[in-house]
Amino acid sequence: MNLVTTKPDLLSEAFERIQDEVDSAFDAFLPVPQDSRARLVEAMRYAAIGGGKRVRPLLVVATAELFGVNHNAAVNAGCAVEAIHAYSLIHDDLPCMDDDDLRHGKPTVHMAFDEATAVLAGDSLHALAFDILTQPDTSTDPFVRAELVATLARASGHDGMAGGQMMDMMSEEQDYDLRQVTRLQQLKTGALLAASVEMGAVLGRIPPEGRAHLRAYARDIGLAFQIADDLLDVEGDQDKAGKALRKDEGQGKRTFVTLMGVEQARAQAEMLVEQAGSHLASHGEDARLLVELARFIVKRDH
Amino acid sequence: MNLVTTKPDLLSEAFERIQDEVDSAFDAFLPVPQDSRARLVEAMRYAAIGGGKRVRPLLVVATAELFGVNHNAAVNAGCAVEAIHAYSLIHDDLPCMDDDDLRHGKPTVHMAFDEATAVLAGDSLHALAFDILTQPDTSTDPFVRAELVATLARASGHDGMAGGQMMDMMSEEQDYDLRQVTRLQQLKTGALLAASVEMGAVLGRIPPEGRAHLRAYARDIGLAFQIADDLLDVEGDQDKAGKALRKDEGQGKRTFVTLMGVEQARAQAEMLVEQAGSHLASHGEDARLLVELARFIVKRDH
């Protein structure tokens, strides 16, 4: 038995911890009321608790750690990003959008409840995100609270995630080139991942001019994340993914994989991950979690 | 000609002014991008510009005026409330919710565009509201910005407007009594009207303990507003309303009118409006606009 080479699995432990913490926080944020709003809050809890890898909260926490931010404050901010992510999945899964029946291996919200409840549960998680960010537990400094809201609101609206989703909906009719697919994905997936890193820096009171290397890291992992998603859609195991796969091809959508081919797409994702890590060199060993998280993003099987 | 009795119509002028200002502000907030997000932003503009009486922005502005707040700052905050109101109408009108074809006398967003675009346009207006509130033009004081966000997020989520909408959806199955209908309406309609007044006070840096009379005013006009809406549903002119009427009865919903009868409901609304005005007595003539706005709420024909 060689104990010297047994390295504690930093990333697995961090994932387990953040998953527990985010679940506990949502449980506390969402007590079920004793009136007919119960169904709405049950649907919010169904979507927000016990599902998802929590990549975005972990990005917030791991970035905030670089700057010695209070851990619970960073978890709160991470929950806000995750509430936005969860609302977007509920709405994306609706029959009028992607019409998906399965998410995280269980029925989507409109299947488990109904469409109207799904619309409202998404809307309510959207509002909850900003409610969380303005609580003193997230930051005692109102400037930080206001900046967190500004960062998340911009990343999720028409100039961010929702805008990317619109471009994605139009992609079946429009033959995007690689530049346009990159722009689409920077908005649809990248904006919220970038906001997660940015919010860690906001919590750490790092001024915008000190965030350039973090933004470069976030941009690289955002693109790598989406290329990995496109690869999973082609090569992934549907049971592990817990959602429908092979959808891009059926819809005739242009993706990184259809435009670059499987081999080049994989090489590109791996190059981006190496590059992402290199942006954090100045933080040395402190950035190990963010570097490992970047690697996980291209290696994940779901 | 007796000029002495010719009183300028304060309320009509205030409505005209705020309608112009809100339209101009949304026009500036929402430039149409030169890519395939254009359709999304067109849908947001369709919903946000040129429709609605702008009761909520006027409440923000008229309350803020009591405390000498910068007018443009109050208009910005008013636009944020109106963005939330506009998003909620888009989602409420969806086929899976109230399934309405007409709003402000023109086709609803999902009819003029499509359902998926309507969902996304609502989501994007939701995010825009918080984006607006965190802009320095709304307040140079980050504490005020953070408090505005907190007030609006709480009023719109599961403990406010969205919660009320859920209670409303359940009302066909559940025979609510007057207490429950009151609670439903305090959330569904009242929360956002109350938030408008509250945000005026936040802009005026009035501490919570100094807002009791404003909250009493807001509570009274909120209930009066909904009773008037219920009366309009029974007695109103569909052309003037610009939306489908006589829906409550068809759905078997309990409302103030079905529970109290037309006469008692009207008397109750008028009593609430008088009471609302009396809460503002300490402001004297400064509160004239808020008092007239309260009267308008029960007299409006659309």
Residue A28 reports pLDDT greater than 90: yes
Question: Facing residues of B106 across strands?
Answer: B103
Averaged pLDDT for residues A159-169: 95
Does residue A4 belong to any structural domain of this protein? no
Does residue B2 belong to any structural domain of this protein? no
Residue B2 reports pLDDT greater than 50: no
Are A257 and A230 within 8 A, CB to CB?
yes
CA distance B53 to B228: 15
Which DSSP string corresponds to B95-144? TTTT--SEETTEE-HHHHS-HHHHHHHHHHHHHHHHHHHTSTTT-S-HHH
Question: What is the per-residue pLDDT for B48?
Answer: 98
Does residue B4 belong to any structural domain of this protein? no
Does residue A47 belong to any structural domain of this protein? yes
**Which tens digit of pLDDT belongs to each residue from A228-243?**
988 988 887 767 767 7
- Which A positions 225-264 lie with beta carbon below 8 A of chain B? none
CA B298 to chain centre: 14
Averaged pLDDT for residues B107-130: 98
Question: What is the per-residue pLDDT for B258?
Answer: 87
CA distance A101 to B112: 27
Domain count, chain A: 1
In this complex, is the C-beta atom of B111 within 8 Å of any C-beta atom belonging to chain A? no
> Predicted confidence band at B298 (pLDDT cuts at 50, 70, 90)?
confident
Question: What is the per-residue pLDDT for B153?
Answer: 98
For a pLDDT cut of 70, what percent of chain B falls above it?
93
Given the cut 0.90, state whether the ipTM is greater than it. Answer: yes
Tell whether the torsion through CA atoms of A134, A110, B173 and B236 is positive or negative. Answer: positive
Lowest mean pLDDT among A46-55, A97-106, A252-261, B133-142: A252-261
Contact A40 B162 (CB under 8 A): yes
Contact B162 A124 (CB under 8 A): yes
Contacts of A30 in chain B (CB under 8 A): 158
Contacts of B133 in chain A (CB under 8 A): 149
Does residue A84 belong to any structural domain of this protein? yes
Averaged pLDDT for residues A116-139: 97
Question: Facing residues of A103 across strands?
Answer: A106
Averaged pLDDT for residues B61-88: 98
Does residue B5 belong to any structural domain of this protein? no
Contacts of A143 in chain B (CB under 8 A): 142
Contacts of B116 in chain A (CB under 8 A): 96-97, 169
Mutation target for B interface from A117, A120, A254: give the one with most B CBs within 10 A.
A120
Alpha helices in A94-211 (DSSP H): 109-112, 115-133, 142-156, 161-170, 178-185, 191-203
Does residue A5 belong to any structural domain of this protein? no
Q: B221: distance to nearest CA of chain A, Å?
A: 24
Question: Facing residues of A106 across strands?
Answer: A103
Q: Indicate the helix (H) or strand (E) that contains B272.
A: helix B262-278
CATH of the domain at A229: 1.10.600.10
Q: Which of B122, B160, B169 is closest, CB to CB, to A116?
A: B169
Contacts of B180 in chain A (CB under 8 A): 35
**Which tens digit of pLDDT belongs to each residue from B80-117?**
999 999 999 999 999 999 999 999 889 999 999 999 99
Question: What is the per-residue pLDDT for A254?
Answer: 82
Tokens of A298: 């291209």
Backbone angles phi, psi at B253, to 5 degrees: -80, 140
Cβ-based neighbour number of residue B275 at 10 Å: 17
The count of CB pairs under 8 A between chains A and B is 174
CA distance A297 to A277: 12
> Predicted confidence band at A1 (pLDDT cuts at 50, 70, 90)?
very low
Contact B124 A36 (CB under 8 A): no
- Which A positions 121-140 lie with beta carbon below 8 A of chain B? 122-124, 126-131, 133-135
CA distance A83 to A63: 19
For residue A286, the enclosing domain spans: 10-299
Tell me what the pLDDT averaged over chain A comes to. 92
Cβ-based neighbour number of residue B158 at 10 Å: 28
Are A268 and A227 within 8 A, CB to CB?
yes
Are A25 and A75 within 8 A, CB to CB?
yes
Question: What is the per-residue pLDDT for A235?
Answer: 82
Which of B112-118's residues contact partners 24+ apart within 8 Å by CB, and which partners?
B112/B43, B112/B46, B113/B39, B113/B42, B113/B43, B113/B46, B114/A96, B115/A96, B116/A96, B116/A97, B116/A169, B117/A166, B117/A169, B117/B39, B117/B40, B117/B43, B118/B43, B118/B90, B118/B91, B118/B93, B118/B94
A172 → chain B, closest CA residue: B36
Residue B234 reports pLDDT greater than 90: no
Contacts of A142 in chain B (CB under 8 A): 142-143, 145-147
Residue A5 reports pLDDT greater than 60: no
Enumerate residues 6+ apart whose C-beta is below 8 A from B274.
none
Contact A94 B119 (CB under 8 A): yes
- Which A positions 183-212 lie with beta carbon below 8 A of chain B? 183
Averaged pLDDT for residues A188-202: 97
- Which A positions 55-74 lie with beta carbon below 8 A of chain B? none
Does residue B52 belong to any structural domain of this protein? yes
CA distance A274 to A295: 8
In this complex, is the C-beta atom of A142 within 8 Å of any C-beta atom belonging to chain B? yes
B174 → chain A, closest CA residue: A36
